[in-house]
Amino acid sequence: MKLLIKGGRVVDPANDIDAVMDVLIEDGIISAVQVNILDREGTVIDAAGKIVCPGFIDMHVHLREPGFEYKEDIATGTRAAAVGGFTTVCCMPNTNPVIDNAAVATFVRERAAKAGVVNVLPIGCISKAQAGHELTEMADLVAAGCVAVSDDGNPVSDASLMRNALDYAKMFELPVLSHCEERSLTKNGQMHEGYFSILYGLKGIPAAAEELMVGRDIKLAEMTDAHVHICHASTRGSMELIREAKSRGLKVTAEVTPHHLVLTDEIVGDYDADTKVNPPLRSEEHLAALLQGLLDGTVDCIATDHAPHHLESKDCEYDLAAFGISGLETAAAVVMDGLVNTGWLDLVRMVELFTIGPADVLGIDKGTLDVGTDADITILDPELTKVVNPAEFYSKGKNTPF
């Protein structure tokens, strides 16, 4: 079967392509990327005025299945991903049971093959039951298709366990994705600690709670010569630490979320629980530092930290509400509208942050329009204007501040 995507602005940062071209696909594989391909045997998609790029990858998604299907499942979460322009998602292991052994990883992959509509790459746990005491059998997790390990949702508080995790993961060239949070500083915290937390009377979560662990993990990456990836980096101090680590050639990478790039803690004043997220929305100063990190390469990729919740855990008092934002269906538009259309970020860099950026972090053969690779392609319509309506989300999680 042939498919020709005709006349779009092809943006493929990995191959330094930004030009009006055609993309020919045969049996699901990219067979040519050229100017004016004449082959019209199959279906033709007119992409004039559109942006044609490698399929977007979201390396930080909570699909919630198994165990929390009332929040999201693989069928709804992958449809939300497709609508948002993502062709590959990595799913975090804080399910029930958690993905801490090959059987659960295999279950997720088989479910995804049956019910999913995009590629689903599972992430295995660092520690058994995510309890932070004993390492998982990473060799088994890798054999079952896991592309990284993480205890996301929980930090790995024991530095010695983290050191061993890095040593072990290094044997498989597996990135260790770290949720950086010093829990003794964030207990009962509701929002970023600063001027607005005092004004709104909510307990703060200081930037230092994240930075302490970013600093620790960089030291451990240096000790072990292993790859640590900082999840949802949100502070100026984190950016400084990661930038410095990279300048010394350490294997340290980082992601930021769309919401941390465009929203600040000031909006928490509405006490709308859909603004409650961990790490919290930060102040202007931190947001500016994240933007700088996007521009200078300190940040490797944008990831949503898609965290769908049931209405009950958000439709309540701020202190009682769950942390998290349903992000898959708004991510590309939020970055495009908030950063590209306003001139902060170049479109090519945006595509890089959603494609080859995460693919390189994970070491997977995705994120390009290379001839011979899977035809995972995202087409963006830069003229499309839409009002965000969570009731129309494919995701079961309607929790969005946008």
- Minimum Å gap between C-beta 61 and Zn ion is 11
Between CA 149 and CA 91 the distance in angstroms is 11
> Phi and psi at residue 239, in whole multiples of 5°?
-60, -45
DSSP state of 81: H
Candidates 146-154, 218-226, 265-273, 290-298 — which segment interacts with Zn ion by CB under 5 A? 146-154
Task: State the virtual CA torsion across 220, 226, 232, 235 in degrees, nearest 10.
Answer: 40
Closest CA to 32 of 42, 345, 308: 42
Tokens of 13: 């940062």
- Minimum Å gap between C-beta 197 and Zn ion is 20
Q: Which string of x and - marks every residue 212-241 that binds Zn ion (by CB under 5 A)?
A: -------------------x----------
Instruction: Report the residue from 65, 73, 152, 352 that binds Zn ion according to the rule CB under 5 A.
Output: 152
Between CA 201 and CA 190 the distance in angstroms is 10
- Minimum Å gap between C-beta 239 and Zn ion is 17
61 vs 339, beta carbon nearer Zn ion: 61
The full 3-state SS of 153-186, as one line of letters, equals CCCCCCHHHHHHHHHHHHCCCCCEEECCCCHHHH
108 vs 231, beta carbon nearer Zn ion: 231
DSSP state of 324: -
Question: Contact, 149 vs 176, CB < 8 A?
Answer: yes
65 vs 152, beta carbon nearer Zn ion: 152
Which residue of the set 12, 151, 300, 305 is catalytic? 305
DSSP state of 306: B
Rg, the chain, Cα only: 20
Between CA 339 and CA 333 the distance in angstroms is 10
277 vs 377, beta carbon nearer Zn ion: 277
Between CA 147 and CA 9 the distance in angstroms is 31
Q: Which string of x and - marks every residue 98-137 that binds Zn ion (by CB under 5 A)?
A: ----------------------------------------
Question: Contact, 376 vs 53, CB < 8 A?
Answer: no
8 vs 124, beta carbon nearer Zn ion: 124
| Interacting residues with Zn ion between 13 and 72 (CB under 5 A) | none
Between CA 363 and CA 358 the distance in angstroms is 8
Question: Contact, 361 vs 59, CB < 8 A?
Answer: yes
Candidates 79-87, 111-119, 149-157, 391-399 — which segment interacts with Zn ion by CB under 5 A? 149-157
Tokens of 246: 């990279």
Active site residue 305: yes
Kindly determine how many residues on this chain lie close enough to bind Zn ion according to the rule CB under 5 A: 3
250 vs 277, beta carbon nearer Zn ion: 277
| Interacting residues with Zn ion between 159 and 198 (CB under 5 A) | 179
| 329 sits near Zn ion (criterion: CB under 5 A) | no
The DSSP bridge pattern shows strands 176-178 and 191-192 to be: unpaired
- Minimum Å gap between C-beta 325 and Zn ion is 12
- Minimum Å gap between C-beta 153 and Zn ion is 6
- Minimum Å gap between C-beta 179 and Zn ion is 4
CA dihedral over 34, 354, 156, 239, signed as positive or negative:
positive
Measured between its terminal Cα atoms, the distance across the chain in Å is 40
- Minimum Å gap between C-beta 4 and Zn ion is 41
- Minimum Å gap between C-beta 367 and Zn ion is 22
* Residue 386: how many other CB atoms lie within 10 Å: 9
Question: Contact, 177 vs 149, CB < 8 A?
Answer: yes
25 vs 61, beta carbon nearer Zn ion: 61
Q: Which residue is nearest to Zn ion (CB)?
A: 179
12 vs 255, beta carbon nearer Zn ion: 255
- Catalytic residue ranges: 305
Residues that bind Zn ion (CB under 5 A): 152, 179, 231
